[in-house]
A and B are shown apart, each in its own frame.
Chain A
């Protein structure tokens, strides 16, 4: 086994002020395997990989590649050593071609400065001067691109990409393959993929998995960062689990169950099934009648929605993405205008009122896009935690604002909702939090004000197992406290587990209503896709049996 080991990281220690991101982590990757790196958001996966890619330097510990000790001062060092990384957010220039993007990072100097250029107008003595070369390498750029070489490389790995196409012409899956191509062009032996499926549709993800298998057949090793257990099952050979900066174990995927992995990740047993106590329904908190609205392109997105939500009721709204869920959530939260119909919150007609009226009437909103509507990335956790409640009189008399109180309030939220990675609420920026922790912070803000109506749009999308559990439990607790909740989710399991009532939305209308007890998944799947289609159109699959069994105690 050990002669097959290509990468060894030993005792990697990395501390940030107030946080130990990596606490003496060991990791070894074998040649030709896909090695999963699994962990909750903020467990230290990204930090470890940034150290491996030369973006951070470790405080202690060593990295060996093929037995040779590496001293990585920059990503260039890592690339030279044969390590490539594909980031979650692509680093491509849309207006340039695929080939140009691939060559870009190489910084070939402009033709005139190349020492082997035959027709340069610069005298060779100047061209060959090392300082000139270094400056030219840094500040000039040769764009005469070896397109053929890149096309061959793409074909070799079965990437269906035209290298002379511009990046903006490609879809997300193709763009990701360009990122991989960038690494391959630099002759890497080890490729790091940071949550590569986060931006992909399921079909695109399948294609990515095919490509990855092809790469490992060619002898490449891949580190695959993820927090999705299904992906680990689908593609990974061995997996290393990180928790709170420590390595809690490496395992062959075939020999462990999902429940085991989830427990390793979170540090305790994860309840995939939640107890839902019966709650008496109270007065209606929301009554919407005949609501119509348009989307951002001014095309009708909601065509006559009737919806009543009572105190202590969770109404789950199921549907295939793009059938008006986003607009529905925004209309109910008061940030999208209705074109017809009325909205009554707590008995008061607030149709067409400003967002502030909705907030003041006790409406809370957990938006789908955390960074767009949910928070201001560049502002502190304190600003974000108090973004709705800062008007409250407990924070000082108008017009003044007591920042000491704001700070205390934010600290309370961070503590009670277990938001990790915050060293100082006034210093840590919301954008520095990992996805799951940011979502917890947003949820904390929306729930701690004890709303009458909560609209949660995809509350657990892109967050890790531990946070998902926490968020779902919080929603149920809030239901017990008498809040009426609208839950929009593309995860049917989530809808089934949490809702009192299920509505299916299709093309801006509710087409089907049921309750979890009497619901028929197949019927729901059919309704979600327009009813008339054949079976097998469902977007989600039933939960794996092993997982639900593991949570019975």
Chain B
């Protein structure tokens, strides 16, 4: 008996597959992670129960998840929007930091009533994030400098500036920690419900705004077109320069809002290293949700569950933090791999007789 592995292109992906694969692949990733849990003598079922069920049913879990989701959704949008114009914003992290720093400075140094101060902090953050993102966008639009590299490198510049400010001019509070003073009552983002701050409102508004921009406006049409074929778009009278600048600046502003809402909503003060890579997690979020701003929101929520559930599992079972990260990474890897199964059919043939040459993968031509 012979075994042959075959890979065939699908002519069209069935609908059940489009919706079924994410669910199925997440389950598969968890199954693989279970091996590691068993090795560490942790009952995987109980661990996963803590990770997902508890996170999604307890009030604490939900409020933590929603809070975590705010910067994830906003940075997700910061990557998503340039992606629509065919650009990769790898520097959402830097834009988030730049925005958070600017917003924090306003929050600490301006005295206004809360209703005016918090919006002002958001505006300041958005401006700073927009400028930070505008640099790579301008370089790309004007001189075709690769935005992946510039936006990424600017992230490190932003992190160093943060490090300097928090050890120097903006350092505050007791002791010599790299952190700012606590925010006053007025500078703190008010609670929306059950421990979730009003930054959630900002995130949802931005999701809706992005959705409207992309599907209902002329600008969205131009962004889509430039993203698909910039030469044809220019021939039609659209401005690549303007579109590139716009998507990056708006994207940077989104990331910056994510930064300031995390600082002024959840943290209460600026601590160096407050953000566990939101701007980088934003990349898989935007890739998973690349079809619509609402899907970015769903992807952001999903990653928030992974983050929050992961830390609950860490606490409850004494699982090393590294393992939690492994589980998160496996989930991402499996989700990306799943794209392959949407377009290819893999089969195993069991046959008697001489071994056949297995079919080679074939893409549809022309």
Contacts and interface: CB of A to CB of B under 8 A. Distances in A.
Interface stretch (A22-30, A116-124, A271-279, A393-401): A393-401
A106 B31 CA distance: 36
Contacts of B215: 403
Given A376-B232, A387-B232, A107 B357 contact: yes
A105 B224 CA distance: 37
Contact of B236 (A91, A138, A357, A359): A359
Interface in B80-126: none
Contacts of A388: 236-237
B183 interface: no
Interface string A48-64: 00100001100000000
Interface in A347-362: 354-360
B354 to A, nearest CB: 10
A399 B237 contact: no
A390 B233 CA distance: 12
Interface in A79-97: 80, 87-89, 91
A431 to B, nearest CB: 9
A343 to B, nearest CB: 16
Contact of A373 (B216, B219, B231): B231
A413 interface: no
Best-surrounded residue of B2, B220, B358 (most CB of chain A within 10 A): B358
A355 B235 contact: yes
Contacts of B1: 130
A355 B236 contact: yes
A458 interface: no
B221 A383 contact: yes
Nearest to B354: A130
Contacts of A75: 360, 362
A400 B225 contact: no
A391 interface: yes
A74 B233 contact: no
A375 B225 CA distance: 9
Contact of A383 (B225, B355, B360): B225
Nearest to A369: B231
B218 A356 contact: no
A501 to B, nearest CB: 26
A335 interface: yes
B212 to A, nearest CB: 9
Q: Chain B interface mostly helix, strand, loop or mixed?
A: mixed
B11 interface: yes
Interface residues of A, number: 55
B234 interface: yes
Nearest to A384: B232
B214 to A, nearest CB: 11
B8 interface: yes
Given A76-B360, A130-B2, A138-B358, A358 B218 contact: no
A76 B357 CA distance: 8
Contacts of A401: 216-218, 220-221
Contact of A390 (B218, B228, B234, B365): B218
Contact of B7 (A87, A130, A138): A138
A188 B332 CA distance: 44
B228 A376 contact: yes
A135 interface: yes
Contacts of A482: none
Contacts of A308: none
A30 B1 CA distance: 39
Nearest to A137: B358
Interface string A385-421: 0111011000100111101000000000000000000
B237 A360 contact: yes
Contacts of B236: 355, 359, 387-388
Best-surrounded residue of A354, A377, A401 (most CB of chain B within 10 A): A401
Contacts of A76: 357, 359-360
Nearest to B215: A403
B366 interface: yes
A86 B231 CA distance: 30
A356 B237 contact: yes
B231 A372 contact: yes
B364 interface: yes
B63 interface: no
A1 interface: no
B218 A376 contact: no
A168 B355 CA distance: 36
Nearest to B234: A355
A43 interface: no
Given A87-B365, A137-B358, A356-B238, A374 B232 contact: yes
B3 interface: yes
Nearest to B230: A376
Contacts of A383: 221, 224-225, 228
A386 B237 CA distance: 12
Contacts of A379: 224-225, 228-229
Given A131-B3, A388-B236, A399 B228 contact: no
B239 interface: yes
Nearest to A389: B236
B202 to A, nearest CB: 22
B235 A335 contact: yes
A138 B5 contact: yes
Interface of B: 1-8, 11, 215-221, 224-225, 228-229, 231-239, 355, 357-360, 362, 364-366
19 contacts: A73-B359, A75-B360, A131-B5, A134-B5, A134-B355, A355-B234, A357-B237, A359-B237, A360-B237, A372-B229, A376-B225, A377-B228, A383-B221, A383-B228, A386-B221, A388-B237, A399-B218, A399-B219, A401-B216
